Amino acid sequence: MSQNTSVQKTTPKKAQSPFIRNWKAFLKRLVTNNSAIIGGSLIIILAILAIIGPNIASEGINQHDYTKQLLGPTAENWFGTDQYGRDILSRILHGMSTTFIIGFGSVAIAASVGITIGVISGYYGGIIDTIVMRIMDILLAFPSIVLALAIVATLGSGLENIILAIAVSSFPVFARIARGSTLAVRKLEYIDAVRALGASDGRIIFKHILPNTLSPLIVQTTLSIATGVLAAAGLSFLGLGAPEPSPEWGSMLNDGRNYMYQAPHMTYFPGLAIVLFVIAFNIFGDGIRDALDPKLKR
């Protein structure tokens, strides 16, 4: 009696690249980091409110009721009313999407331009690096809010000009970080090996250098969103923000400063909204930093 033996072929698993393994480890540390969980939860809640806020708001952004001017918090108007009798809570909910647009829009432009300039400058070096970095030094010599103020004063007020001004004042920081990370990665031996095998500059930059420079850039992105929102609020507070009746939080603070003693709630609640937004992204940024660098222990 013959017994057939079956040979079971096993296909070896495809080895994962170090980049994928590192990012899986990062995500695992991120979901167990308290700062990331708290900050991320706050950001998700704020994002949901930004989406559904206009639908759950009891009033529109410019619904006047002069019989309820400067009322404090009541059961009908939880955050009170402003000088035109408009519900402050409704305006904060409507303005939350504007805040997200300013934060993410300005950082998207700043990161795209700054990372591109920084990587090219750090990779090629020489006269290109010298010229680019001296320009960045000049821009960094100005306080970001002063530079943004000068740009908005030149271009005029408006949401688009605010986003552009904040992006211009922020991209030198991204350029410096991207350049420093590129200089560190460019000197590694495996970059020389890839170049010796005939890889083009574009392939080296996008496949080998850029993925290894993302860690500090991601942290800077989250922190820059909070900084951008603060800058936008500062510009609006100075009267250079989105024009009326836009419910931008900085503009609401600007309206409330004339009624600080008569109706302090006009500044308290928009100010608390800005503080909560900034704290959420700062805490989340701390969590990302700790997850990206497990050697950091508080």
Query: How big, in percent rounded to 5, are the helix, strand and coil portions of the chain?
Result: 70, 0, 25
Q: Note whether residue 210 is domain-resident.
A: yes
* Residue 130 amino acid letter: T
Question: What pTM did the predictor assign?
Answer: 0.81
Structural domain boundaries, residue 260: 19-292
pLDDT of residue 295: 57
Q: Note whether residue 5 is domain-resident.
A: no
Q: Please, what's the b/e burial string for 252-284 (b: 16 or more CB within 10 A of its CB; e: otherwise)?
A: bbbbbeebeeebebbbbbbbebbeebbebbbbb
- How far apart are the C-alpha atoms of 269 and 247, rounded to whole Å? 13
- Domain harbouring 85, CATH code: 1.10.3720.10
Q: What is the number of structural domains in the chain?
A: 1
Nearest to 281 by CA among 238, 236, 239, 219: 219
pLDDT of residue 13: 52
Q: Note whether residue 179 is domain-resident.
A: yes
Q: Note whether residue 207 is domain-resident.
A: yes
Q: Note whether residue 246 is domain-resident.
A: yes
pLDDT tens-digit series, residues 50-109: 998 888 887 777 788 888 888 888 888 889 888 888 888 989 998 898 889 999 999 999
Given a contact cutoff of 8 angstroms between Cβ atoms, the answer to whether 202 and 141 are in contact is: no
Residues 6+ apart with CB under 8 A from 252: 82, 88, 91, 92, 95, 266, 267, 270
| Strand blocks (E) in the chain | none
Q: Note whether residue 3 is domain-resident.
A: no
- How far apart are the C-alpha atoms of 54 and 62, rounded to whole Å? 12
pLDDT of residue 297: 46
Q: Please, what's the b/e burial string for 210-236 (b: 16 or more CB within 10 A of its CB; e: otherwise)?
A: bbbbbbbbbbbbbbbbbbbbbbbbbbb
User: Mean pLDDT per segment of 10 residues, for the chain of length 298 residues?
Assistant: 48 55 75 87 92 82 81 86 88 89 92 92 88 89 84 83 90 91 83 80 81 83 89 83 79 86 89 92 87 60
Residue 146 burial (CB < 10 Å; 0-12/13-18/19+)?
Answer: exposed
DSSP conformation class of 58: S
Q: Note whether residue 14 is domain-resident.
A: no
Q: Note whether residue 81 is domain-resident.
A: yes
